[in-house]
Amino acid sequence: MAPHPFKTLNIEETRIARDVVLAQHPDVVVDFREIFLQEPEKEGMKLFLDLEHSSKPGQSPTSKRPSRLAKCQYDIIGSDKIPEYHESIVDIGLKKRVRHEVIGKEHQASLTLWEFEILVEACKRSDEFQKAIAEFKLPEGFELVVEPWPYGGLDLGSENRRYFQGLCFAQDTRSGNPDSNFYAYPLPLIPILDAHKKEIIRIDRLATGGKGDSLTGKTHSEHIVDHCQSAEYVPELLPGGTRKDLKPINITQPEGPSFKVTDESLVEWQKWRFRVSFNPREGAVLHDVHYDGRSILYRLSISEMTVPYGDPRPPFHRKQAFDFGDGGAGNCANNLSLGCDCLGVIKYFDAVIVGSDGEPKVHPNVVCLHEQDNGIGWKHTNWRTGRAVVSRMRELVVQFIITLANYEYVFAYKLDTAGGITIEVRATGIVSVVNIDPGKTSDYGNVVSGGVLAQNHQHIFATRIDPAIDGHNNTVLHEESHSAPWDKVTNPNGNFYEIRKTVVNRSSGHDAAPEHNRTFKIINPNKRNPLSGNPVGYKFVPPPTQKLLAAPGSIQAQRALFTNHHVWVTKYRDDELYAAGRFTLQSQLEVGGVHDMVKRNEEVTNEDLVIWNTFGLTHNPRVEDWPVMPSEIFQVHFKPSDFFNANPAIDVPSTKNEASVLVGKECCLEKL
């Protein structure tokens, strides 16, 4: 049977796509960046899904099956040795290229991990860089570490060449442990790589001053890390070791999981049914989400994330990563470990990645699927009889984790027994730091250890919600609750408040308004709840988090226009998947993102539409964020609103958990 149209490309399909591309470019060098699933056009996919859902379980329609397509991103290197970026769409079944695009030089392709290796090697070859490092008197046993980073936004007037930068640190190797924390010893140098020449073309020297010092003054001594302190986090290097009084908690499911996975993509759990795919830019994606046979979502993904830094000293105005667009979240996905990243009875999903030669290989365990208990789902005690009925809230979790140099992000989609979906992001890892002179403090961050300044920054995420609430023609409205004026007839005691509903008629951006309990509802205006008479729908309250703080018109602000609103509503178009547009690396302006989408001013009532939710963290670091930051957790709750005729979790069993036991008396005795 042919693979499902939403299923991630396998190794054989990836290899076919590579071979087709190579055949199109016989006399040049082809450096591959990515090969991944090109999702079918939506109109054809709607027909396919209608047939699929109307067929018998386990069967797929053989007619009107969308073509299996691969998107191939690669560089062509001709006689001038300067890479030219191409994108091709290959029909796997026909073994034929069906679309081809040469990307203009104004856009930069997303980076690859092997390009980072070029930076590190270039630093070793660069006499200028080696001389700069030699100006510092590092203690014996310390070695240089260069950490590759995206270059950031190009300054206005700069030549648009492909650059990378490296953040420099010293690692104390005296313990012999390769995981000794080098971030505790930052060095004030940033080498700049010309990726085409593969040479270090410039070295930015950083200011290390504090309050009252100039933005560019070089005030450090040659003994640059003598005032820095060890800050280990791996258990075997902790000075006092780990806690000895923490006893295990085991998550067990003696009868196995309640979910079922078929075709390495179709997940069925309780009344939920959906598919999981994985791609190098967005990571895990949910498709065709149904509850009890009713459609809720066509597609759900994390679309983008930007991390701008608030240190005005050059070159930190360029310090702004787009972790999905610049390099790809999926590319940085962890290979998850049983019993560590996900607990209980786990199902893992693999992905396929390619090297620069296009040869595919399995990227194992990039997504984990498991159930978890999330406390009481609902409860009521009949005070007359004393009987309590309590039902637990169980969630099915689809999770992936990415590591981006110093930082980790944990992304999870949580589907629950009450028909709700929670989008969760956890930020952890090690804060990005620079060197600061002894005894100084700064307006640009917080000193978290000797000689270590953690710079102020933001993490701003964008989720993409492609709804299908009982069908693909939906409408968005926002609902607010307002105090009503005193009125002798309608509000004689002043306690009445009114609900105001505003339909979003045209593509546009909107903001959270917690003072009015602004709630966004995605409704199907063509189907009404038989009890309330309201259109069936789902709702969410956008987290009222701070928007981008960089000044309007700045490079940071211009390349992240998607951060201007908490909620965007756009009309669906194929291939519009990215909140900040297709190309973010070294951008100066967001092109093709949600800001451009809403400019079309399209009608979005009773239409196939997309909702984008932007939220995030303004992170002014604490000492407690060092050396590894405790997780900061953000959640967006997507809940049914007049979609059902009653609490959909009312039939969840109120079974007593027989594994629960009373604690032994000895644990509660006071120590004398």
Helix (H) or strand (E) holding 54: helix 42-54
Average pLDDT, the chain: 95
pLDDT reported for residue 265: 96
Asked whether residue 654 is domain-assigned, the answer is: no
Can you tell me the distance from the alpha carbon of 521 to that of 485, in angstroms, rounded to the nearest whole number?
26
Summarised one tens digit per residue, pLDDT across range 268-279 is: 999 999 999 999
* CB contact at 8 A, 306 and 321: yes
> What are the phi and psi torsion angles at 33 (to 5°)?
-110, -60
β-strand pairing of 283-291 with 163-172: unpaired
Each residue of 440-476: pLDDT tens digit? 999 999 999 999 999 999 999 999 999 999 999 999 9
20 and 86 co-located in one domain: yes
Inside any domain, residue 570: yes
Q: Exactly one of 75, 172, 311, 323 is catalytic; name it.
A: 323
CA atoms within 13 A on the CB side of 411: 27
661: in domain: no
> What pLDDT does residue 558 have?
97
Tell me the pLDDT tens digit for each residue of 559-616.
Answer: 999 999 999 999 999 999 999 999 999 999 999 999 999 999 999 999 999 999 999 9
242 is a domain residue: no
Nearest to 208 by CA among 230, 186, 191, 192: 186
User: Residues 455, 316: contact at Cβ < 8 Å?
Assistant: yes
Asked if the structure places residue 437 within a domain, the reply is: no
| Residue 445, CA distances (Å) to 104, 210, 440, 458 in order | 38, 10, 11, 12
* 407 tagged catalytic: yes
The DSSP output letter for 7 is S
Q: Tokens 């005691």 label which residue?
A: 493
The CATH number given to whatever domain includes residue 271 is 2.70.98.20
Q: With bands split at pLDDT 50, 70 and 90, how would you rate the model's confidence at 258?
A: very high
Q: pLDDT band for position 1 (50/70/90)?
A: confident
Taking the C-alpha atoms of residue 611 and residue 570, their distance in angstroms, rounded to an integer, is 7
Q: Which residues contact 246 (CB under 8 A, 6 or more apart)?
A: none
- Residues 483 and 380 occupy one common structural domain: yes
CA atoms within 13 A on the CB side of 133: 23
**Residue tagged active-site, from 151, 163, 291, 407:** 407
Which of 151-155, 167-171, 560-564, 595-599 shows the lowest mean pLDDT across its residues?
151-155
pLDDT bucket at 63, cuts 50 / 70 / 90: low
Name the domain boundary from 41, 74, 102.
102
- 130-154: average pLDDT: 96
Query: Rounded CA gap, 301 and 156, in Å?
Result: 33
Greater confidence (291 vs 60) lies with 291
Q: What is the DSSP letter of 444?
A: T
Residue range 331-373, pLDDT digits in tens: 999 999 888 888 999 999 999 999 999 999 999 999 999 999 9
3-state secondary structure of 294: strand
Same domain, 232 and 347: no
Which helix (DSSP H) or strand (DSSP E) does residue 322 occupy?
Answer: strand 320-322
108 within a domain of the structure (yes/no): no
Residue 580 and residue 545 share a domain: yes
Q: Please state the domain count of the chain.
A: 3
Domain that holds residue 199: 113-237
Q: Say what the pLDDT of residue 667 is.
A: 60
What contacts 270, CB < 8 A, 6 or more positions away? Answer: 258, 394, 396, 417
Does the pLDDT at position 546 exceed 70?
Answer: yes
| Residue 586 and residue 464 share a domain | yes
83 and 145 housed in the same domain? no
* Same-domain check for residues 33 and 130: no
Asked whether residue 299 is assigned to any structural domain, the reply reads yes
Q: Are both 593 and 628 inside the same structural domain?
A: yes
| One domain, residues 553 and 461 | yes
Q: How confident is the model at residue 672 (pLDDT cuts 50, 70, 90)?
A: very low
% the chain with pLDDT above 70: 98
Coil/strand/helix, residue 28? coil
| Amino acid 156: pLDDT | 85
Nearest to 180 by CA among 239, 120, 231: 231
The 10 Å Cβ neighbour count of residue 513 is 15
Residue 72 confidence (pLDDT) above 60: yes
DSSP string, 338-389: BTTTB-SS-EEEEEEEE-TT--EEEEEEEEEEEEEEEEEEEEEE-TTT--EE
> pLDDT at residue 669 above 80?
no
Q: Is the pLDDT of residue 671 over 90?
A: no
- pLDDT digit string (tens) for 200-256? 999 999 999 999 999 999 999 999 999 999 999 999 999 999 999 999 999 899 999
How sure is the predictor about 151, in pLDDT bands with cuts at 50, 70 and 90? very high
User: DSSP code of 459?
Assistant: E
Distance between CA atoms of 473 and 146, rounded to whole angstroms?
51
Distance between CA atoms of residues 402 and 146, nearest Å: 20
Give the mean model confidence (pLDDT) for residues 640-655: 95
Question: Could you tell me if 350 and 376 lie in one domain?
Answer: yes
- Residue 75's alpha-carbon distances to 82, 92, 164, in angstroms, are 9, 21, 17
Measured between alpha carbons, how far is 393 from 374 in angstroms, rounded to an integer?
Answer: 5
Task: Show which of 34, 68, 102 is a domain's final residue.
Answer: 102
Q: What is the pLDDT of residue 57?
A: 44
**What integer pLDDT is reported at residue 104 of this predicted model?**
75
In this prediction, residue 430 carries a pLDDT of 98
Q: Is position 572 annotated as part of the catalytic site? A: no
C-alpha 342/C-alpha 669 separation (Å) is 34
Q: Residue 58 — very low, low, confident or very high, per pLDDT cuts 50/70/90?
A: very low
Q: How far is CA 513 from CA 421, 461, 479, in A?
A: 22, 18, 10
State percent of the chain over pLDDT 90. 89
**At residue 658, what are phi and psi to the nearest 5 degrees?**
-75, -10
User: Is residue 286 assigned to a domain?
Assistant: yes
Q: CA torsion sign, 572 to 573 to 579 to 580?
A: negative
Q: Which residues pair with 520 in a beta bridge?
A: 478, 540
- Are 527 and 557 in a shared domain? yes
- How far is Cα 415 from Cα 9, in angstroms, rounded to an integer? 25
- The last residue of a domain, from among 79, 102, 125: 102
Cα torsion 604, 606, 612, 614 to 10°: value is 80
21 against 116, higher pLDDT: 21
Least confident span in 232-246, 323-337, 525-539, 653-667: 653-667
Residue 97: which CATH number?
Answer: 3.10.450.40
Do 85 and 187 fall within a single domain? no
Please give the angle made by the CA atoms of 402, 408 and 414, to the nearest 5 degrees.
65
For residue 151, which of 201, 186, 87 has the smallest C-alpha distance? 201
